[in-house]
Chain A
Amino acid sequence: MKPSTIASFAKVSLLAIASAVLVWMGFVAVLASDWIIAITLGLILVFANWVYFSKKSVAGKFLFPGSVLLVIFVVVPIIYTAWMSVYNYKTGNEITKDQAITQLHQVGLVPDESGTTYDMVLGKYAGKDAVLLTDQATHAVAVGTADNFLPLPEGTFTTNAQKVATTADGFTTATPAQVADASSWLTSFVVPQGSGKFVSPQGADVAALMFEKFTFNADNSVIEDSLSGTTYVDNGNGNFVSKTDSKNVLYPGWRQLSPTENYVGLLTDPKLSGPFVGVFIWTIAFAFISVLMMWALGLVLAIALDKKMRFRGLYRALLILPYAMPSFMSILIWGGIFNADYGALNNLLNIHVDWLNDVWLARLVILIVNLWLGFPYFYLISTGALQALPTDIEEAAEIDGATGSQIFWRIKLPLIFQILSPLLIASFAFNFNNFNLVYLLTKGGPVDVLNGQTAGATDLLITYAYKTAFGSNEQNLGLACAISVIMFVIVGVLSMWSLRRSRVLEEM
């Protein structure tokens, strides 16, 4: 066979396998009537076959697999994040309004004021799941189905010694095996009695008369409490609130579209803007100082080792070890070293300093650890930059009478800076979002919880957003998404600017 025949055979078989998997997945999705997934899979199937069998789109053939994964698992989540950021989406406001109203009906379930309870026997009535109910106080008997509550006249049922009805005309009592299986339908089974009342099973042999105190009026979106007579109105921000007492709020609420709330709140609500501004300043300072320190150390090291000398190969291998170590591991090790009780540093020096629980010490530790993680990389790129410098400029400057330090500060350093600036900016952007370092080392702490603070002294925007969205206390996904969008804009603008500056785009 010619190579091209093998290639097209491989192409067709791969496509056939991929199509088969997609069709099977689509079939599963259709069976579960998940139409979004089914349609997505169908589109991928059609596009894949079109792209690979058409003669036209050569670039599409190469870009298709990566683009599909990128769109589904990166672009869609980003859009979802931006969309969530305009919602009031937090603990207590996580579901839709319809779901919230359904849940409120259940929250508003109270026992009937007379406290009526029933003895209950499970069975079938007219072919449907049904219960035979005996009022424990009056011994009145009724049959209940999911549709209605049917009082039975005397003589149509038989009772036991406790005056509890056990059989009735038209009612088939369940066998013990059927009773054991009854939980599948019993959990959602209620017998409506009219006027907001219904009988709700409280186990397999008892039921209680319950009463729904909230009634929802869809016309004006108002909930009435028929017990206290309170009227709750939609406050436009995801909750029903009492008309007369604004502190009387019904939970759960729902996520309400509120386009500017999260963004404006970050700037104006003192509870949010205080921590946000503090964290913002520290994030910028941390990223800036980190890059400056790493670069300074890396550059001096590159200059020191720029000359042929003994042991240079050995030094180089040892010095890039921090870069070769898995970084999550190094960070955890440093966390252990600085631990107050067991830490190697305190043990070695025989001191007791609580490094990670003091605001400024913790910040210092973060910077030192980051310096350790980053200086080898800067050493490598500075070495590259030094070697890329044209050699004749030094001689030309010397002829013009420049001193050694003048040559370095006025000529070489600016040139190196120019060469490295795209990488410096990339490094700034990376440290701006250096989640692993802060999360694994200090978890953003120390946090002054006693003073009600939510952000820690070493929290970066990214760890703060993470805590806001997934923290253990109150979660505010909408706010976290808004912070993510702000970070995206900052880092995105910075990166685009550096990309333009480095003129990579023109070369594209």
Chain B
Amino acid sequence: MSIAIRKPAKGRTPSNLWRHIFAWVLIVFALFPIVVVVSSSLSKSGALSTGSLWPSKVSFNNYLMLFTDSSIPFGRWMLNTVLIAGINAVISVLIGMFAAYAFSRLRYRGRKQSLQALFLIQVFPSFLALAAIYVIFERLYKLYPVIGLGSLGGLLLVYLGGSMGGSAWLLKGFLDTIPMELDEAAKIDGASPSQIFWQIFLPLTVPILVVSTLLSFIGTFNEFVLASIFLQDVNTRTVAVGLQSFVGGTFGANWGPFAAGSVVAAIPLVTLFLSLQKYIVSGVTAGSVKG
């Protein structure tokens, strides 16, 4: 490890070799499951043959099955997931942005206390309150089936409940870096707080809003527990619940369609992530560098 902090040598010296070797070892580790899932999706049986990482005969059967087998409404699952994760991401980032603006720019009584309370509430493993959530939504179902137990609308409401705790912190951190002089100048020009928000802050924060929306989208995409309790009907499932149902029970039989479904669902997300990599990385590291 001591090599690491030697003064950087000029040009290509042997000291670079260990860096390359180390990186490649980790790349193999990082790529192994990805290669496995891609190759399984292309293998007819869905299982890997002994001693080989690549199927001897490439078959697209598993992919065909996803979109033709009527017992696997995979397209429906994708649609459900995109709808619920998309709507949730947009609304919750907007709500988070409202809250972040109030926390960062407005001075009001009980501000510090409300921030601390929000911080604590956020820490509670909320899905352990499942029993209570279940009771509430069973009751709502009797009156308004659209947002009751078993509906995507109800699940959306549960997710939105956490929206203020979710993105508000990241956004507040960003808003704090915008100089105060900006809003003071606007105030002198006679702008109201809501004008400052809509016409100055919102346009300024577009990049971080995009990152927050994407992170929220990925978060919802990955959410499994609430979705699996909420959505029992096969047609209302999200991708996470649907794919888990392939391999959650008796393993093996459905490994092929699971692998194919994973590849189809992961490609758009990973592409999006990698293309916005620069912004996400700066968002993620912002916390550490601020210290």
Which residues from chain B contact A34 at a C-beta distance below 8 Å?
Answer: 139, 142-143
**Chain B residue contacts of A75, Cβ below 8 A:** 121
**Contact A423 B287, CB 8 Å, known A309-B20, A328-B222:** yes
A319 beta carbon closer than 8 Å to chain B? yes
Q: Which of A158-166, A226-234, A265-273, A400-408 contacts B (4 or more CB under 8 A)?
A: A400-408
Q: B95 — which chain A residues lie within 8 A by C-beta?
A: 65-66, 69
Do the beta carbons of A495 and B247 come within 8 Å of each other? no
- The residue that A404 contacts in the complex, of B5, B251, B259, with Cβ under 8 A, is B5
* Cβ 8 A contact of A329, one of B53, B116, B265, B277: B265
Q: Which chain B residues border A304 with CB–CB below 8 Å?
A: 4, 18-19, 22-23
Pair B101/A28 contact, Cβ less than 8 Å: no
In the assembled complex, B193 has its CB within 8 A of some CB on chain A: yes
Choice from A84, A342, A407 contacting B47 with Cβ under 8 Å: A342
Whether B128 sits at the interface, judged by CB under 8 Å, is yes
State the CA gap A327–B219 with chains docked (Å): 9
B interface, size bucket: 35 or more
A59 and B107 CA atoms in complex are apart in Å by: 8
Bound form: Cα–Cα A435–B252 in Å: 24
Q: Are A384 and B29 within 8 A (Cβ)?
A: no
Q: Say whether B33 contacts A63, CB under 8 Å.
A: no
Enumerate B31-73 residues with CB–CB distance to A below 8 Å: 31-34, 36-37, 40, 47-53
A384 and B123 in contact, given A25-B143, A76-B132, A336-B251 (Cβ under 8 angstroms): no
Shortest Cβ distance from residue A421 to the other chain B in the assembled complex, whole angstroms? 9
Question: Which of A77, A387, A422, A439 touches B287 (beta carbons < 8 Å)?
Answer: A422
Q: Contacts of B243 on A, CB cut-off 8 Å?
A: 328-329, 332
A408-B2 CB under 8 A given contacts A325-B34, A462-B128, A484-B125: yes
State whether B269 touches A324 (Cβ < 8 A). Answer: yes
A57 to B162, CA, bound (A): 23
Given A66-B95, A324-B273; A74-B130 close (CB under 8 Å): no
Shortest A444–chain B CB gap in Å is 14
Q: Are A347 and B51 in contact (CB under 8 A)?
A: yes
Assess whether A505 is in contact with B112, with CB atoms less than 8 Å apart.
yes
A322 at the interface (CB under 8 A from B): yes
Cα distance A65–B92 when bound, in Å?
Answer: 10
> Chain A: interface residue count, which band?
35 or more
Chain A 433-471 interface 0/1 with B at a Cβ cutoff of 8 Å (1 = within) = 101100110000000000000000000001001100110
**Whole-angstrom CA separation of A470 from B128 in the bound complex:** 10
Closest Cβ of chain B to A400, distance in Å, is 15
Contact of B129 among A78, A322, A376 (CB under 8 A): A78
Per DSSP, chain A at the interface is helix
Residue of chain B at shortest CB distance from A412: B5
List which B93-129 residues lie within 8 A (CB) of chain A: 95-96, 98-99, 101-103, 106, 108, 111-112, 114-116, 118-121, 123-129
**Residues 368 to 424 of chain A near chain B (Cβ within 8 Å):** 372, 375-377, 380-381, 383-385, 387-388, 394, 403-405, 407-408, 412, 418-420, 422-423
A481–B102 alpha-carbon span in the complex (Å): 34
- Tell yes or no: B195 within 8 A of A by CB: yes
Contact residues of B: prevailing secondary structure? helix
Task: Tell me whether B131 is interfacial, beta carbon within 8 Å.
Answer: yes
Q: Which residues does chain A contribute within 8 Å of B34, judged by CB atoms?
A: 321, 325
**Residue A7 contacts which of B144, B198, B224, B247 (CB distance < 8 angstroms)?**
B198
Task: Give the docked Cα–Cα distance between A325 and B99 (Å).
Answer: 30
Partner of B255, one of A342, A470, A480, A507: A342
B78 at the interface (CB under 8 A from A): no
A77 & B27 in contact (Cβ 8 Å cutoff): no
Do the beta carbons of A73 and B127 come within 8 Å of each other?
no
Give every chain A residue within 8 A of B195 (Cβ-Cβ).
Answer: 4, 7
Known: A307-B8, A408-B1. A330 touches B49 (CB 8 A): no
Contact of A58 among B119, B193, B289 (CB under 8 A): B193
B266 partner residues in chain A, CB cutoff 8 A = 325-326, 329
Q: How many pairs, one residue from A and one from B, have CB atoms within 8 Å of each other in the complex?
A: 323
| Contact in complex: A348, B53 (CB < 8 Å) | yes
A469 contacts across to B, CB distance below 8 A: 128, 130-131
B279 adjacent to chain A (CB < 8 Å): no
The reply on A72 being an interface residue by CB < 8 A is yes
Known contacts A4-B195, A80-B135; decide if A25 and B144 are in contact (CB<8 Å).
yes
B98 touches A408 (CB 8 A): no
Shortest C-beta distance, A81 to chain B (Å), equals: 5
The chain A residue sitting closest to B287, CB to CB, is A423
Q: Within 8 Å of chain A (Cβ to Cβ): is B218? A: yes
CA distance A73 to B124 in the complex (A): 13
Enumerate chain B interface residues (CB-CB to A < 8 A).
Answer: 1-6, 8, 16, 18-20, 22-23, 26-27, 29-34, 36-37, 40, 47-53, 95-96, 98-99, 101-103, 106, 108, 111-112, 114-116, 118-121, 123-133, 135-136, 139-140, 142-144, 157-158, 160-165, 168, 176, 193-195, 197-199, 218, 221-222, 224-225, 240, 243-244, 247, 251-252, 255, 258-259, 262, 265-266, 269-270, 273-274, 277, 281, 284-285, 287-289, 291
20 further A-B pairs in the complex, CB-CB below 8 A; given A324-B274, A505-B112: A7-B198, A34-B143, A37-B139, A76-B132, A77-B132, A80-B131, A300-B1, A321-B34, A322-B30, A326-B265, A329-B240, A329-B265, A336-B251, A342-B47, A347-B47, A347-B48, A350-B50, A380-B285, A465-B128, A491-B123
Chain A residues at the B interface, C-beta cutoff of 8 Å: 3-4, 7, 25, 28-29, 32, 34, 37, 57-59, 61-63, 65-67, 69-70, 72-78, 80-81, 84, 297, 300-301, 303-307, 309, 311, 315, 317-330, 332-337, 339, 341-342, 344, 347-348, 350, 372, 375-377, 380-381, 383-385, 387-388, 394, 403-405, 407-408, 412, 418-420, 422-423, 429, 433, 435-436, 439-440, 462, 465-466, 469-470, 477, 480-481, 484, 487-488, 491-492, 495-496, 499, 502, 505, 507-508
List 9 contacting pairs A-B, 8 Å CB cutoff, sorted by A.
A73-B133, A321-B34, A325-B266, A336-B37, A344-B48, A347-B48, A394-B5, A404-B6, A477-B131
**Cβ-closest 6 pairs across A and B:** A73-B161, A384-B285, A77-B129, A66-B164, A80-B132, A77-B132
